Amino acid sequence: MKAAVWHGEREISIEEREAKEIQPDDVKVKVAWAGICGSDLHAYLHPSSVPMNLNTILGHEFSGEIAEVGSNVTKFKEGTEYAFIQ
Ligand SMILES: [Zn+2]
């Protein structure tokens, strides 16, 4: 999957990342849309103003469809569409 990765002030790259294997308490979402919010923009322009680790994947506000749920998950079902803010 592709990910926007923050590397520091004014440094973002689009990189290929391996999806993690789903665990019993996980929900895997097939992302339809992901946004860049104000905190992402602050990290890009003024990194000292936002506590963020190097190599963080941006886009924590997104929408998509539940693709897979872990064996302990009961609240979410595959195929349901949601908007998420992480
Ligand atoms: Zn945000």
DSSP notation for 2-57: EEEEEEETTEEEEEE-PPPPP-TT-EEEEEEEEE--HHHHHHHH-GGGS---TTEE
Full residue range of the structural domain in which residue 80 is found: 2-85
Q: What is the pLDDT of residue 28?
A: 93
Q: Is the pLDDT of residue 84 over 80?
A: no
Ligand 1 centroid to residue 61 C-alpha, Å: 6
Question: How many folded domains does the chain comprise?
Answer: 1
pLDDT at 6: 94
pLDDT tens-place string over residues 8-47: 999 999 999 998 999 999 999 999 998 888 888 988 999 9
* 48-59 residue pLDDT tens: 988 889 999 998
Tokens 């929408």 sit on residue: 63
CATH value at residue 30: 3.90.180.10
| Residue 79 CA to ligand 1 centre (angstroms) | 25
pLDDT of residue 85: 65
* CA 17 – ligand 1 centroid, Å: 21
Using the predicted structure, report yes or no on whether residue 2 has a pLDDT greater than 70. Answer: yes
